[in-house]
Structure 1
């Protein structure tokens, strides 16, 4: 089964007409910043905002003397909500204040019929009392495997997996891991905004900070954090001093001093989503040098189909959700040791059957899109809202037993 398709083991539902699907607002509770990296939440919720109000509640910022909410509406229609808290609150006080702020948001916006959408189970600490029309947990990462994960995360996720009306998972590995607590979870792997990234197949204006870099260029875009194998990157750069390694993205959770610094490794920083095709157009090979550790055990990188849509050959380490199906289909080269990795890059640079490979890439990517993924999710949510309403269910927060 394609990793871009909805899980065929789950029952299919017909997509309802738009009028029937618009009868709820949505409040998302996230550990991610909306303006950080454009990924799964932004793709899905910007589509959700085409038909309803969407409020994206970020983790709090500390430093203000008095608690407050900062709300700002993005061009896509999503309202980003940033809680500002005093700096000296302990954990219990933080959750108490956040509970009041979320209540203020729901009251001031007159949110009567709303869906709660969780990206972080930690938000249960200040939302258990709410009465949403339905509750969704979109599990896009195994957060307990990340550095600095809160101690309460595992227990709260178990609560959310048991009680949410719907559980979506962002990759097959996560889906298989979460089915033990939620057999009815739905598999929705990373989809693709193919037209956006296909721009990289045509000549693009060269970004100024990349224009003078040597060729061949090997590129990566995404967060630079503990999920990357920095030793592999350093060793590959040393093995191929004539290659240029371009790293596009913010550095997070690791000390910049720990990054490998070689004459042929260039860190260009975070770039807007709209500019990524211009950068990729100047690469010869796209890289996914992920480490194999707890933080990558269940990842399903969104950048895999994005790289492929860009028309660039891809070399990745053996991340499970990349090996299956992309490696098995011969769309991505898999290599783990430095010697294997640079050898795979060498072969990619010499790729002689590019037209045939691109045909297979396009056929594969045609199986899924973010529009299609959101339409399926929206239909499932609308059905859950209607079922709760018809059953006269007054949900006492997402941690109630259903």
Structure 2
């Protein structure tokens, strides 16, 4: 059975989103080896493994050094640990599936049946994007067999760069979020109505000025913000009596938050 060796800049236990949604489903037919970004600062190289769901094995590689992400400093160590895992488990029939071009050098020395680039975001547009990202994405387009894009705008920006690009938009987990009669989440029961809610990563892409302006224009509205704060200083988040920062929550908690909102926001 052909396995999927997946390289992701997002950890499996971070916000549950496209990589987890797709791989947890594909694992019913293809065993998934999910390679996370390494954890720097270790005394020696070692491999942490766990299985968050049937058919998925997450590899978290702890390496010496202080660089973050799929940095050149870590490539040799990552490659050795990955090759050892594949040998140990007899995995010799596999596809490579990339969520980040920064991991592309790890394809060297591997013999996959094919390679897929699932472009879920324009990572080069993010704050603090490594300069090597664009160069490695260019190399990936010359090497991979198939490209997916997470939305129409990404498709338009990538479709002429490879002969086999497909628009594969992210969607809604209807079975998870479509349940009726869901009780309100206990952590927001004391918050008055009307409630305007957002859930997702809270980073530089959100318009914090807009969030503050909405709260200021309507003090009677309660703005509920659910999600981890990343790449921005939490001290810079707008603080108002009617803005409620709830932090990161488990995927299974989100429907209860949504059940208690009057309006959902995408700021």
TM bucket, shorter chain = over 0.9
Flag the structure with larger Rg.
1
Query: Which of residues 66, 85, 91 in structure 2 aligns to 1:111?
Result: 91
The whole-number CA distance in structure 2 between the counterparts of 1:88 and 1:215 is 47
Answer 1 or 2: which has greater helix percent: 1
Q: Structure 2 unaligned segments of length 5 or more: list them.
A: none
Residues 337-369 of structure 1: CA distance to partner in whole angstroms, max 9, x if unpaired? Answer: xxxxxxxxxxxxxxxxxxxxxxxxxxxxxxxxx
Q: Structure 1 unaligned segments of length 5 or more: list them.
A: 1-22, 290-402
The count of corresponding residues between Structure 1 and Structure 2 is: 265
Query: Which of residues 175, 178, 197 in structure 2 aligns to 1:195?
Result: 175
What residue number does 2:76 align with? Answer: 96
Answer 1 or 2: which has greater strand percent: 2
Shift of 1:62: 1.3
Query: Which of residues 53, 57, 70 in structure 2 aligns to 1:79?
Result: 57
The 3-state SS of whatever aligns with 1:231 is helix
Quick check: 81-90 or 62-71, which moved more?
81-90
What residue number does 1:146 align with? Answer: 126
Residues 141-198 of structure 1: CA distance to partner in whole angstroms, max 9, x if unpaired? Answer: 0000011111111011011122101111111111110112114201111122212111
The whole-number CA distance in structure 1 between the counterparts of 2:170 and 2:43 is 40
What residue number does 1:171 align with? Answer: 151
TM-score normalised by L of structure 1: 0.64
Residues 245-288 of structure 1: CA distance to partner in whole angstroms, max 9, x if unpaired? Answer: 00011111100001000000001111111121111010000000
Structure 1 131/221 Cα, relative in aligned 2: closer, same or farther at 3 Å?
same
The 3-state SS of whatever aligns with 1:168 is strand
Query: Which of residues 223, 226, 246 in structure 1 aligns to 2:224?
Result: 246
TM-score normalised by L of structure 2: 0.95
Shift of 1:98: 1.3
| Structure of higher RCO (CA pairs closer than 8 Å, 6+ residues apart) | 1
Measured on the aligned residues, the alpha-carbon RMSD in Å equals: 1.4
The whole-number CA distance in structure 1 between the counterparts of 2:161 and 2:66 is 37
The 3-state SS of whatever aligns with 2:160 is coil
What residue number does 1:269 align with? Answer: 247
Residues 297-330 of structure 1: CA distance to partner in whole angstroms, max 9, x if unpaired? Answer: xxxxxxxxxxxxxxxxxxxxxxxxxxxxxxxxxx
The whole-number CA distance in structure 1 between the counterparts of 2:174 and 2:34 is 25
Superposition pairs of residues 291-302 of structure 1, within 5 angstroms: none
The 3-state SS of whatever aligns with 1:33 is coil
Give the 4+ runs in structure 1 shifted more than 6 A. none
The whole-number CA distance in structure 1 between the counterparts of 2:228 and 2:111 is 37
Shift of 1:24: 0.3
Superposition pairs of residues 204-243 of structure 1, within 5 angstroms: 204-243=182-221
Contact (CA 8 Å) 2:32, 2:55: kept in 1 or not? yes
